[in-house]
């Protein structure tokens, strides 16, 4: 049975919310014996049956990271056959686990009211504020404004820059102090955001992907560069390259970089972000086993797939490609552990694995693993 709003070791009364043939899901609606790590949730919406955005607001922050570490350890044991003690490291930029989300997407109901979905539901929880959103996002006030005809509203911020992206059959737009994009079409500047990491600037169009924690890009980039230890004669491939964060930073340190990304809009951003680096090539293509198997053997690979992971076929193709080092950036421990097993079965090793708390108050955790082939 999977129980939200409880802590391992507690005795609670649970209301079952869904069931399958093999497990139940439920909410802890009454705590009979509380954990010493239980704290009052700072947000009034973080309650059973209400907003589904935060899993752990009732858990002290240090215990949250221990829970995430145990989750990673369990998936590594179960799926990869690896026994490893994991430390989840904090990232700079949040305030006691709050005020870290630089991009928030709100759903909009039939009355034009913005809100967040309930847990595992399409039902909307109208909210007046979000405590994990940054103050710059909250200053737009999207939750407190009318959005007639809209289906969703996304607010993204980078410092003083803010962009609101609206989708749906939009009627009258409220006045906001931000750039505005409606159904992908710019209405008011700015149409995107500019981020800075390790001395380089990165432009991201409205609706494009960028890590939501303000310290995430620097934390992950530093971990990848430390793990790969790039040299001036190395060649590198960046798979699932997004807007070119890793490709651009590697381009300052290696002889050449090939960045591969399926999303054309992200590739356009990546091209802008590497315009001054002739040694970096951007290729618009889906990352699959056929593409990987045709690549010239690089010295270094960055692998940053979506939540589903790289997959067994791509992992096997990378084993055959045999680069000297791979930095695997993963946002899902289970898919990472499944892929890791492919490398380990082929005789590869994992000299380092780091875990980062880039999503405080939730169950999510980000991993950066370094993988090396036999003989390296």
Q: Which of 51, 54, 267, 331 is catalytic?
A: 331
- Whether 267 is a known active-site residue: answer no
What pLDDT sits at residue 207? 87
Residue range 24-59, pLDDT digits in tens: 999 999 999 999 999 999 999 999 999 999 999 999
**pLDDT band at 368, cuts 50/70/90?**
very high
Q: Tell me, yes or no, whether 221 and 353 share the same domain.
A: yes
Spatial neighbors of 373 by CB under 8 A, at least 6 apart, are 319, 322, 323, 324, 346, 347, 348
Q: Tell me, yes or no, whether 334 and 225 share the same domain.
A: yes
Q: Tell me, yes or no, whether 112 and 186 share the same domain.
A: yes
Q: Tell me, yes or no, whether 276 and 305 share the same domain.
A: yes
Q: Residue 87 — φ and ψ, nearest 5°?
A: -110, 125
What pLDDT sits at residue 253? 98
Residue 334 maps to a domain:
yes
What pLDDT sits at residue 162? 97
Q: Tell me, yes or no, whether 150 and 221 share the same domain.
A: no
pTM: 0.96
CB 198, CB 249: distance < 8 Å: yes
Q: Which residues of 57-72 are buried (b: 16+ CB within 10 A; e: fewer)?
A: bbbbbebbbbbbbebb
What pLDDT sits at residue 210? 97
Least Cα distance to 88 among 60, 68, 74 occurs for 68
Residue range 161-207, pLDDT digits in tens: 999 999 999 988 999 999 999 999 999 999 999 999 999 999 999 98
What percentage of the chain carries pLDDT values higher than 70? 100
The pLDDT of residue 375 is above 90: no
| pLDDT (mean) for 116-135 | 96
Which one of 190, 221, 243 terminates a domain? 190
Pairing type for strands 349-357 and 88-90 reads parallel
Residue 53 maps to a domain:
no
Residue 56 maps to a domain:
no
Q: Tell me, yes or no, whether 261 and 112 share the same domain.
A: no
Q: Tell me, yes or no, whether 222 and 368 share the same domain.
A: yes
What pLDDT sits at residue 350? 98
What percentage of the chain carries pLDDT values higher than 90? 98
What pLDDT sits at residue 316? 98
Bridge partners of residue 18, in order along the sequence: 25
**pLDDT band at 234, cuts 50/70/90?**
very high
Q: Tell me, yes or no, whether 227 and 173 share the same domain.
A: no
Residue 47 maps to a domain:
no
What pLDDT sits at residue 171? 81
Q: Tell me, yes or no, whether 343 and 227 share the same domain.
A: yes
CB 253, CB 233: distance < 8 Å: no
Least Cα distance to 258 among 268, 266, 269, 246 occurs for 246
Pairing type for strands 2-4 and 24-33 reads parallel
Q: Tell me, yes or no, whether 246 and 351 share the same domain.
A: yes
Q: What total number of domains does the chain contain?
A: 3
What pLDDT sits at residue 184? 93
Residue 55 maps to a domain:
no
- Domain CATH code at residue 299: 3.40.50.150
Axis crossing angle, helix 312-321 with helix 333-345, rounded to the nearest 10: 40
What pLDDT sits at residue 98? 98
* Range of the structural domain that residue 217 is part of: 76-91+213-372
Q: Tell me, yes or no, whether 217 and 268 share the same domain.
A: yes
**DSSP tally for the chain: helices H, then strands E:** 8, 20
Residue range 262-313, pLDDT digits in tens: 999 999 999 999 999 999 999 999 999 999 999 999 999 999 999 999 999 9
Residue 344 maps to a domain:
yes
Q: Tell me, yes or no, whether 87 and 135 share the same domain.
A: no
């Amino acid at each position: 049975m999977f129980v939200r709003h409880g802590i391992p070791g507690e005795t609670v009364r649970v209301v079952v919310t869904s069931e399958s043939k093999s497990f139940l899901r439920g909410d802890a609606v009454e705590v009979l014996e509380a954990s010493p790590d239980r704290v009052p949730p700072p947000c009034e919406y973080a309650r059973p049956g209400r907003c589904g955005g935060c899993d752990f607001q009732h858990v002290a922050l240090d215990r949250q990271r221990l829970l995430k570490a145990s989750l990673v350890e369990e998936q590594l044991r179960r799926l990869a056959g690896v026994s490893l003690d994991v430390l989840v490291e904090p990232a700079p930029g949040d305030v006691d686990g709050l005020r870290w989300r630089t991009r928030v997407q709100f759903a909009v109901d039939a009355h034009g009211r913005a809100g967040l979905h309930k847990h595992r539901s399409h039902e909307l929880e109208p909210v007046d504020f979000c405590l994990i959103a940054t103050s710059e996002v909250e200053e737009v006030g999207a939750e407190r404004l009318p959005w007639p005809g809209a289906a969703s509203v996304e607010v993204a911020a980078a410092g003083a820059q803010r962009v609101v992206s609206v989708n749906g059959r939009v009627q009258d737009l409220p006045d906001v102090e931000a750039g505005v994009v409606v159904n992908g079409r710019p209405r008011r500047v700015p149409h995107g955001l500019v981020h800075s990491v390790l001395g380089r600037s990165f432009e991201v169009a409205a609706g494009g992907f960028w890590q939501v924690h303000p310290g995430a890009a620097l934390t992950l980039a530093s971990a990848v560069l430390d793990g790969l230890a790039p040299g001036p004669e190395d060649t590198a491939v960046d798979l699932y390259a997004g807007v070119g964060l890793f490709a651009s930073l590697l381009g300052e340190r290696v002889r050449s970089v090939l960045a591969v990304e399926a999303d054309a809009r992200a590739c356009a951003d990546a091209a802008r972000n590497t315009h001054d680096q002739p040694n970096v090539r951007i290729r618009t293509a889906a990352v699959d086993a056929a593409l990987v198997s045709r690549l010239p053997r690089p010295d270094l690979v960055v692998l940053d797939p979506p939540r589903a992971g790289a997959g067994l076929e791509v992992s096997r193709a990378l084993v055959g490609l045999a680069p000297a080092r791979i930095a695997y950036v993963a946002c899902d421990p289970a898919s990472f552990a499944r892929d890791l097993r492919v490398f380990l079965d082929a005789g590869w090793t994992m000299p380092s694995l780091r875990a980062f708390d880039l999503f405080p108050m939730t169950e999510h955790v980000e991993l950066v693993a370094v993988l090396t082939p036999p003989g390296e």
